[in-house]
Amino acid sequence: MSSNTDATIRELAQQEYKWGFVTEIGEDRAPKGLTENTIRLISTKKSEPEFMLEWRLKAFRYWDSLEKAQAEPKWANIKYPPIDYQAISYYSAPKQKPNLKSLDELDPEILRTYEKLGIPLAEQKMLAGVAVDAVFDSVSVATTFKEKLAEVGVIFCSFSEAVKNHPELVKKYLGSVVPYTDNFFAALNAAVFSDGSFVYVPKGVRCPMELSTYFRINAAETGQFERTLIVADEGASVSYLEGCTAPIRDENQLHAAVVELIALDNAQIKYSTVQNWYPGDKNGKGGIYNFVTKRGACRGKNSKISWTQVETGSAITWKYPSCILQGDDSVGEFYSVALTNNYQQADTGTKMIHIGKNTRSTIVSKGISAGHGQNTYRGQVKIMKEAAGSRNYTQCDSLLIGDKCGAHTFPYIEVKNSTARMEHEASTSKIGEDQMFYLRQRGLKTEDAVSMIVNGFCKRVFKELPMEFAVEAQKLLSVSLEGSVG
Amino acid sequence: MSLLEIKNLRARVDDREILKGVNLTLNAGEVHSIMGPNGSGKSTLAQVLARRESYEITGGEVLFNGRDLLAMKPEEAACEGLFLAFQYPVEIPGISNAYFLRSALNAIRKYRGLDEMDAMDFLPKLREKLKLLDMDDKLLNRSVNEAFSGGEKKRNEILQMAVLEPKLAILDETDSGLDIDALRIVANGVNAMRSPERAILVVTHYQRLLNYIVPDRVHVLVDGRIVRSGGPELALELENKGYGEMDGAARGASPA
């Protein structure tokens, strides 16, 4: 690259995080540290039934044994200083009047925060087809569109409400895809998760609107542990979008969420994520540690689970939205754009576990590295012995911007049935000086040219996003790349 | 005032001097051709004028519309009305040809203080130009130059030129890789663009393109200098005699 475009890249990379601001609201927060008492406090605060407390305690004991054995996972291609789990406060809820009847009763500070984020909740109600379950710190503060969803029998509520009002569903499915023993962070989440979203779509119902949740970390030094559970019963279908932004903090913050999806016979779940947590400043100071376990089970025959993610934020991203293709003829998809700029690190990918016959999976991963960013794709495709006639297609592309960043690929393929068909394509490229010159010669500014090339690179994935969010994702990508262009 | 005035232009890439004092004047309404053997600096001249940054200017000046072209970035030169039809058009995967063209047109319109054009207004204009170049509508929805044949790429360059309506168009070896039918179509497209407000600089190795695009002036570039200039008949002379004789002239050359 020429020095001129390098300078523009640097300028773009140095752009400040636009969504950094802190809302001052009264806060109800647990003291720092994690013991059995913390778990009991959380469970009591949330007036949970006994089975929840039992489950949390089992999870805590399991996590505690891992922590004592120093079994925090170390295999990912990421670097960070040790996390002091006793220095984190595990519960924080904004103080507010209980049982809001309408948005008007919401803390005006919280409402203003959402407005800055561009999700004016008050107007969300009007927005056709989008219901928002807003999670402010750990407690859901507002849920809209519930009535309309209730008409068709769709349950869309905070996890706490689900525990209260639909304990039998929670009991049946909680931990059935991601058990608390799954991994270190999943165990931690199971022990201390404070809230999240719950969706149940009954038999034969197509959810009439996109379901959307905005998560938000607000209080300093508060780990956030969300848990989402989505169940699509036989023949049901639902599309769910999760979007995240977070304000500037100096200390690193841990975000260890768990998402479980369950699709029964002929059911479809589409789960889209736009993740824009605070990535740290341009020197790598601060930023979110995003250690997330996301997994879907295609339990029924002919079911389908599709993950689409656009990951532009977080100092560190560690997540592998996966599909267990248990039902015959079930389909798993993973479409991913992961961008690392400045000193961001991402180790992300998917697992496709083929168990049922004629199961199919598609993986399309687009990694973009700029600045000093390190971007790793890690994916596993496993065809079990019984999975006759199964197919996988994997495409894994990396784009490098500048010469200080890195792209890494770790595909694991394990095939135990000889009738399976596997395809794997991978590429690594740089934004070429010739591409830049070509676009600039046609009148485009450097940053617009880079934005165009990157958006073109990601097009296959953006096509999978719900229309209204695809536009947002493109903008986010351009903003995240500002200062990085070459 | 001339549209383009090149005065004693010198440029190098790495440590190699490629342009060693080029002088050339182009007026609006004129079509000039630059011919020369391989390695004489034809493409370098085209790219330097389009402000490719990998070339270092070591001397001389260039006025475009009275403004210092060498002080402009590539996008500024483009917005001021300079267009380069690339010898090797570049692929932009995932970006449709139509979107790309509209973005380019709007970038230029914005620079000139004009309203941006929306898709509804733009598409009819684009279709009209497509017809001119005998191009398939489908090329509009395909990614820029991706999986285009050599001929389609070259036609696509001329399509862009037709849409962007530059003041100065530089065609860099647009004839290379074209069969005779495609050559004729491309030449027709270029001829349709000839106008009293526009100048065209045709850079080519072979004379055959000039049978279709008849230039007002022909310049022979050898070893980084223009060694001869003349009318269209000069191209024919070169075709018969080759560039060999010009080499001698290059050594003692004075600018044409």
State both tokens at B199.
């100048």
Chain A residue nearest residue B163, CA to CA: A442
Report the percent of chain B where pLDDT is more than 70: 95
Per-residue confidence band for B46, with pLDDT thresholds at 50, 70 and 90: very high
Neighbouring-strand partners of residue A109 = none
Per-residue confidence band for A141, with pLDDT thresholds at 50, 70 and 90: very low
Average pLDDT of the residues of chain B = 91
State both tokens at A447.
């940053």
Using one digit for the tens of pLDDT, what is the confidence trace for A352-410? 999 999 999 999 999 999 889 999 999 999 999 999 999 999 999 999 988 888 999 99
For A133-176, give the DSSP string.
EEEETTEEEEE-SHHHHHHTT-EEEEHHHHHHH-HHHHHHHTTS
pLDDT value, residue B120: 87
- Residue range A304-322: mean pLDDT, rounded: 92
Pairing of strands A304-311, A268-276: parallel
pLDDT value, residue A142: 43
Shortest distance, CA A456 to any CA of chain B (angstroms): 4
Within 8 A of A453 by CB-CB distance, chain B residues are 92, 95
A72 three-state secondary structure: coil
Shortest distance, CA A400 to any CA of chain B (angstroms): 15
Matching residue, tokens 């690190």: A345
Least confident span in A185-199, A245-259, A261-275, B142-156: A245-259
Average pLDDT of the residues of chain A = 82
Q: Least CB-CB distance to A456: which of B77, B78, B93?
A: B93
* Residue A482 · residue A17 · CB < 8 Å: no
Using one digit for the tens of pLDDT, what is the confidence trace for B54-70? 999 999 999 999 999 99
Is a pLDDT exceeding 70 seen at residue A25?
no
Q: B52–A442: do the CB atoms touch at under 8 Å?
A: no
Report the percent of chain A where pLDDT is more than 90: 49
Within 8 A of B111 by CB-CB distance, chain A residues are 443
pLDDT value, residue A225: 85
Using one digit for the tens of pLDDT, what is the confidence trace for A203-213? 999 998 888 76
Per-residue confidence band for A127, with pLDDT thresholds at 50, 70 and 90: very low
Q: How many CB pairs under 8 A join A and B?
A: 81
| H or E element in which residue A192 lies | helix A184-192
Please state, in angstroms and rounded to a whole number, the distance separating the CA atoms of residues A293 and B29.
66
**A468 or A286, greater pLDDT:** A286
Please state the ipTM of this predicted complex: 0.94
pLDDT value, residue A17: 54
**pTM score:** 0.81
Using one digit for the tens of pLDDT, what is the confidence trace for B170-220? 999 998 888 888 899 999 999 999 999 999 999 998 888 999 999 999 999
Using one digit for the tens of pLDDT, what is the confidence trace for A161-214? 899 999 999 999 999 999 999 999 999 999 999 888 899 999 999 998 888 765
Shortest distance, CA B245 to any CA of chain A (angstroms): 35
Is a pLDDT exceeding 50 seen at residue B47?
yes
Q: B52–A437: do the CB atoms touch at under 8 Å?
A: yes
pLDDT value, residue A150: 81
Shortest distance, CA B110 to any CA of chain A (angstroms): 10
pLDDT value, residue A138: 43
Count CB atoms within 10 A of the CB of residue A221.
16
Please state, in angstroms and rounded to a whole number, the distance separating the CA atoms of residues B214 and B232.
7
Least confident span in A194-203, A357-366, A464-473, B102-111: A464-473
pLDDT value, residue A56: 95
Using one digit for the tens of pLDDT, what is the confidence trace for A57-108? 999 999 999 988 888 888 888 888 888 888 877 776 655 434 455 556 555 6
Q: B74–A432: do the CB atoms touch at under 8 Å?
A: no
Q: Least CB-CB distance to B160: which of A437, A442, A455?
A: A442
Interface of B with A (CB under 8 A): 50-54, 73-75, 77-79, 83-84, 86, 88-95, 100, 103-105, 107-108, 111, 143, 160, 164
Is a pLDDT exceeding 60 seen at residue A52?
yes
| H or E element in which residue A131 lies | strand A130-136
* Per-residue 3-state assignment (H helix, E strand, C coil) for A302-319: CCEEEEEEEECCCCEEEE
